[in-house]
Amino acid sequence: MTTQQGALTILVLEGDGIGPEITAATVSVLRAADRKFALGLSFESADIGWVAHRATGTTFPDAVETKAKAAAGVLLGPVSHNDYPPRAEGGLNPSGELRKRLDLYANIRPALSRPGFPPRCGVPVDLIIYRENTEGFYADRTMFAGTGEFMPTPDLAMAMRKVTRAGSTRIVEAAFRHAMQRPRKKVTAVHKSNVLRISDGLFLECAREVAARYPQVTYQEQLIDSMAALLIRDASQFDIIVTTNMFGDILSDEATEISGSIGLAASLNAGSEFAVAQAQHGSAPDIAGKNVANPSSLIGSAAMLLAWLGERRGSDNLLAAARAIETALDKVIAEPAGRTRDMGGTLGTDAFAAKVAAAV
């Protein structure tokens, strides 16, 4: 973790596309929070993605893992992993590698409507999705060696799904612990056990065992297909949603777009020892270098990282800084003149970040 008590080094990984712009914008907000709350932040950087591939032949050098484990937390910019070469040619997804190597089993994705920026459907939304992050159908994290996708013949492609008791239990535990901190104290487990009877059956078995230990929390279950529809009908009825990897990935994008925009959606990858702040959206190479990208998602993710650190360290200053960044985002986004172009405003990336930093 950290080399000395109180030292807070954040490893900045710029990524691809708009990554360098929105990470720089986010660091400027973190520096403002550092000045205001005396957090003792310092920043270190390392290359990943295409920059690293050109220099070293891999998009995720092993040295990055070492630096990530030594830092207090990681700020990860979006990556263009769909465009990378095959894994054998150095094309590793930095996001997936960090999740596996740092055992970041919880992908925590709030869907929160911002004041003055109306939700896409119905009433304002305030829910959090806990997505299992290390198993499921994701081919890059289901096998010890090789991948979870393979082709026995030229005309047959197969994919393996991995669901473990340990993995299911710990993500549900994390969801229930968070629910205990929220006023509604409600958890919804999302599944497809009517078809995936064994794998989702195991997931639900674990969820029910955990739920029995939290009688203060209202627990319910919902099929993935009906859940997708219910979010559109009225997402405000949900509080904490917990589910497997792929279902959580899809539902969180849907929920955050319904709540206002995926461009505002924060995300934290967290484990028992490490955490990585990461925007929900992609690298948007079509607008890279134009100073028009909205950095809200990564700024909000950085606030989540500070809150995670604050809880672990018992630091009121870190927790206050996280709240201050969230409040600053609300204040800036509430005014049309303070928005980036994707939100109907005119500000560029740098100008928006400057407003948020000033509000902090």
Per annotation, catalytic residue among 105, 138, 214, 219: 138
The H-assigned helical ranges of the chain are 19-37, 49-56, 62-70, 94-101, 165-179, 199-212, 224-234, 245-259, 296-313, 316-334, 349-359
Distance between CA 184 and CA 284 in Å, rounded? 36
Per annotation, catalytic residue among 84, 105, 249, 331: 249
249 belongs to the catalytic site: yes
Distance between CA 359 and CA 136 in Å, rounded? 40
Distance between CA 228 and CA 236 in Å, rounded? 13
192 belongs to the catalytic site: yes
Per annotation, catalytic residue among 62, 225, 234, 316: 225
Per annotation, catalytic residue among 103, 126, 253, 350: 253
The β-bridge partners of 73 are 10
User: How many CA atoms lie within 13 Å of 123's alpha carbon, on the beta-carbon side?
Assistant: 7
225 belongs to the catalytic site: yes
User: How many CA atoms lie within 13 Å of 300's alpha carbon, on the beta-carbon side?
Assistant: 27
Q: How would you classify residue 122: left for phi > 0, otherwise alpha for psi between -120 and 50, otherwise beta?
A: left
Distance between CA 125 and CA 231 in Å, rounded? 10
Distance between CA 274 and CA 312 in Å, rounded? 11
Q: Which of 247, 271, 264 is nearest to 343 (CA)?
A: 264
Per annotation, catalytic residue among 67, 100, 192, 342: 192
Q: Which residues are catalytic?
A: 138, 192, 225, 249, 253
